[in-house]
Amino acid sequence: MTALTIEQVEVSYRARGRGSVRAVAGVDLQVAAGEVVGLVGESGCGKSSLARVAAGLTAPTAGRILIGDTPVAPVGWRRRPAALTRLQMIFQDPGGSLNPRRTIESQLLDGIPADLTGSARTERLVQLLERVGMSDDARRHYPHQFSGGQRQRLAIARALATEPEIIIADEPVTALDASAQAQVVSLLLSLVRELDVGLLFISHDLALVHEIADRTAVMYLGKIVEQAPTRALMAAPRHPYTRALVEAIPQISAHPNLPNVLRGEVPDPAQVPSGCRFRPRCAHARAICLTEPQLREVPGGLVSCHRVEEIAAENGVTELSVAKRSVTESSVTGEIAMEASE
């Protein structure tokens, strides 16, 4: 069952002096129940704009969002229909999403459905805390009395209180330490599997998305450029941008190399390059790239690149192996010719 459907969504902002900025330029994405979908991309690519629209925090300029079969209406001044609490969001900063002046208990009780009454509410509260690995006496404390990782777990408990069908997590562990990251990520993963919740996991950290997501979509300048099962996407990225992202992850190795440098910067979304939007930074760009590629089906995924097949043939190998990664092109930004030492 599809828990969340994003259909042809566009988001535009009007910026003074820059005209209209299309932060999201037509995105289709589905998240099934019990599935984790990763959404990755550099800052400014529109991931968070998409998350906010999907959660109904802002209205899309075009397209629509469905939770199950129900369209999401943007949050207004009036109270949100109970049905729409089926979607919950987890933000990057749990310090900002929990009220500093209320106890954990009072905040969690807010989310527990009103048809539970009396001691059943408290029971549910204790259950929720247990579910996220917090002890029972956490309920009497205030958010500042917890560490960042614990606060994020409490934010997850609060999201779970309404028994949602879909959770959107926008960079939920970016602010945490590696060990706390591991805790929160494994918690999210086990919850998704046990409760059959859909999870849209937004992050700029590919390595992390690799640990958690079943399927991953890569976003660049407001568009999805590649979508595939995570493992395949990471092992054999097809789109040159995905490849650049994967190669930029520093690896632990006995013969370390500096990660590859992608030339240039993400362009201003108000001045999207003509044709393929990755063209100015792409080492494989040719004349055909002056026309805009569409997201099309290739074996095992979706890619928007005219030259996927040619690039794969040029590289000779489609599998990207870390140990044998050989970097010979000197990159424009780094100009460090790195020789593969293996």
Partner 1 sequence: MSTGEPLLTIDGLSVSLPGPAGPVPVIKQLDLRVDAGEIVGIAGESGSGKSLTALTLLNLLPPGAVVGGSIRFDGQDLLSLDRRGWQGVRGSGISMVFQDSTAALHPMLTIGRQLTEHIRAGLGLGRAAARTRATELLDQMRIPHPDRALRAYPHQFSGGMRQRVAIAIALACRPRLLIADEPTTALDVTVQAGILALLEEQRRESGLAVLFITHDLGVLSALTRRAYIFYAGRVMESGGTADLLTAPAHPYTAALLGARPHGLSAQRTLRAIPGAPVLPDQLLPGCPFEPRCTFAEDSCRSGPPPQVPTTSGRTLACVVAPDLTGEPVVNR
Taking the least distance from each CB to partner 1, the nearer of 139 and 281 is: 281
Quote the least distance from Cβ 48 to partner 1, whole Å. 13
Which value, to the nearest 10 degrees, does the dihedral of the CA atoms of residues 121, 123, 129, 130 take?
Answer: -160
Taking the least distance from each CB to partner 1, the nearer of 161 and 245 is: 245
Quote the least distance from Cβ 23 to partner 1, whole Å. 15
Instruction: Name which of 234, 58, 243, 94 is nearest 171 in CA terms.
Output: 94
DSSP 80: P
Taking the least distance from each CB to partner 1, the nearer of 253 and 291 is: 253
Quote the least distance from Cβ 178 to partner 1, whole Å. 5
**287: CB partners within 8 A, 6+ apart:** none
Residues 139, 106: Cα–Cα separation, whole Å: 8
CB 173 within 8 A of CB 180: yes
Quote the least distance from Cβ 332 to partner 1, whole Å. 8
Quote the least distance from Cβ 174 to partner 1, whole Å. 8
Taking the least distance from each CB to partner 1, the nearer of 109 and 233 is: 233
Ranges of H-type helices in the chain? 47-54, 94-97, 104-111, 119-131, 148-160, 178-195, 206-212, 230-235, 240-247, 308-315
Contacts to partner 1 by CB under 8 A: 42-44, 147, 177-183, 185-186, 189, 204-208, 210-211, 230-231, 234-235, 244-246, 248-262, 265-266, 320, 322, 331, 333-336
Taking the least distance from each CB to partner 1, the nearer of 87 and 180 is: 180
Helix or strand (DSSP H, E) at 163: none
Taking the least distance from each CB to partner 1, the nearer of 66 and 249 is: 249
3-state secondary structure of 262: coil
Quote the least distance from Cβ 124 to partner 1, whole Å. 26
Residues 26, 45: Cα–Cα separation, whole Å: 13
Taking the least distance from each CB to partner 1, the nearer of 16 and 101 is: 16
Quote the least distance from Cβ 226 to partner 1, whole Å. 15
Q: How are beta strands 166-170 and 87-90 bridged, if at all?
A: parallel
Report angle CA 306, 7, 280 to the nearest 5 degrees: 30
* Sign, Cα dihedral of 252, 253, 256, 260: negative
